[in-house]
Structures are given as structure tokens and as C-alpha cells.
Chain A
Amino acid sequence: GIQVEQSPPDLILQEGANSTLRCNFSDSVNNLQWFHQNPWGQLINLFYIPSGTKQNGRLSATTVATERYSLLYISSSQTTDSGVYFCAVRQTQTGANNLFFGTGTRLTVIP
């Protein structure tokens, strides 16, 4: 299957700082989603972004499908942003609809 790599694996920020999380994938995709897994284990949809740029409050994301990467920007981070951020993709070639997940970026925001 497709390989999905996320970096950095761990990130510690002071409250108020900005950060960029990266997702690289090894094949063409027709769906890319970013999720936040909170400390209670819930997977929360952040963005559905197969290409282009989207913004939602302090979060924004950009996917450059032709270069096989996506970026998630978090500005003015808050302690509630802590958790694990996952990128997940749907591979074009197979025609299947399931998502392949990266290994995640664990974000800790310190007050």
C-alpha cells in the first residue's frame, strides 16, 4: 500500500507559538484528511483537503498533490491543541475508499 510519513514525530510548544506539521505520501491520492486525536482517543476531523488550501480559525492546511505532500499549520497554539495529529490518504490507483494513516505527530502545548 501507499506509504504515509509524518514529521516531526514529536513537538513541544509554548502556548502561543506557531507550528507546521508535514505529511508526505508515496503515490497519487484523491483524498487527504487531517485528524486530531485528543487525549480521550477521539479522532476529530480537521480538514478534508485533496488539494489546495483551507483555513479554519487558527488552523490551516495546504496540499500539493503533484508533489505528494500536505502541511498543517497551527497558529497561536493553546493547551487544548495537545494530542496526536494524523494525516490519512485515499490512494487513487487501487480505487478503494479506505484511508491509509501516517504514524502521527504528537503535539504537547505547555502553558
Chain B
Amino acid sequence: DSGVTQTPKHLITATGQRVTLRCSPRSGDLSVYWYQQSLDQGLQFLIQYYNGEERAKGNILERFSAQQFPDLHSELNLSSLELGDSALYFCASSGLTYEQYFGPGTRLTVT
């Protein structure tokens, strides 16, 4: 158990819909990262938050957004979903050492 929690574990939704994925980092970690794992793109970095502020952006689509709340949990919002958004979405957190610990992931299926 990495100490990073993610909900829900699985999500099935239709094209055009909007979903919210939730992540709670390890106790004491201020940084939260979101990654997407798809069959064709592999594991790719989406976005990082540090203590509530956006710190870095990767290959995140404009239809996707995220935020980190004062209690440090984070949410990733995916809207106008397309079939190609089906993937495993991971949240990771890190502290002072920068070693990242990953949550169990949310498997999103868009039908």
C-alpha cells in the first residue's frame, strides 16, 4: 500500500459526458501528479500541483482540468469525453525527496 488513495476504482460512462476522479496523497506530501496510461501512448504525465498551486503541465488536453484543495486532495475533471480517453488514470504524490508514490489508479471506460 503506497498510502495514495484514488476513487473510484472503475468508471464506465458515455461519450460526451463529464467525470471527476479523486486522489488523496500520502500524509505529509504536498505534491500531487496525474498520469494517464493508455495502450497507444504509454504512461504520460498530465499535470502537477504543489500545495494548491499548479506547478507543471504535460500533455493535458484542454477538455481536462485539475485542482488541489486546501486539505491537499486533488481532483481531475474530464469533460466532453471521447472513446480515446479510455485509460488508466494514476495519481502520484511526493514529498521532500521527490520520490513519487502511485495510487491504485482509476480505470475509465468511455462507451
Interface residues of A (CB under 8 A from B): 31, 33, 35, 41-45, 48, 86, 88, 90, 96-101, 103-104
Chain B 81-101 per-residue mask, 1 if CB under 8 angstroms from chain A, else 0 = 000000010101010011111
In the bound complex, CA of A35 to CA of B98 (Å): 15
In the bound complex, CA of A48 to CA of B101 (Å): 10
Q: Could you tell me if B90 and A97 are in contact, using CB atoms closer than 8 angstroms? A: no
Interface residues of B (CB under 8 A from A): 2, 31, 33, 35, 42-45, 48, 55-56, 58, 88, 90, 92, 94, 97-102, 104-105, 107
CB < 8 Å neighbour of A42 from B44, B58, B92, B104: B104
In the bound complex, CA of A35 to CA of B103 (Å): 13
In the bound complex, CA of A97 to CA of B55 (Å): 9
**Nearest-CB distance from B94 to chain A (Å)?**
7
Q: Could you tell me if A101 and B43 are in contact, using CB atoms closer than 8 angstroms? A: yes
Q: Could you tell me if B101 and A45 are in contact, using CB atoms closer than 8 angstroms? A: yes
Q: Could you tell me if B105 and A41 are in contact, using CB atoms closer than 8 angstroms? A: yes
Q: Could you tell me if A42 and B105 are in contact, using CB atoms closer than 8 angstroms? A: yes
Which single residue of chain B is at the shortest CB-CB distance from A50? B98
Q: List 11 A-B contacts (CB under 8 A).
A: A33-B99, A42-B102, A43-B105, A45-B101, A48-B97, A97-B33, A97-B94, A98-B56, A101-B42, A101-B44, A103-B42
Q: Given the complex, which residues of B lie within 8 Å of A101, measured CB to CB?
A: 42-44
> Which 7 pairs show the lowest CB-CB distances between chains A and B?
A101-B43, A98-B45, A43-B102, A48-B99, A96-B56, A31-B98, A42-B104
Q: Given the complex, which residues of A lie within 8 Å of B102, measured CB to CB?
A: 35, 42-43, 45
In the complex where A41-B107, A45-B2 touch, is A100 in contact with B45 (Cβ < 8 A)? Answer: yes
In the complex where A41-B107, A97-B55, A101-B43 touch, is A90 in contact with B88 (Cβ < 8 A)? Answer: no
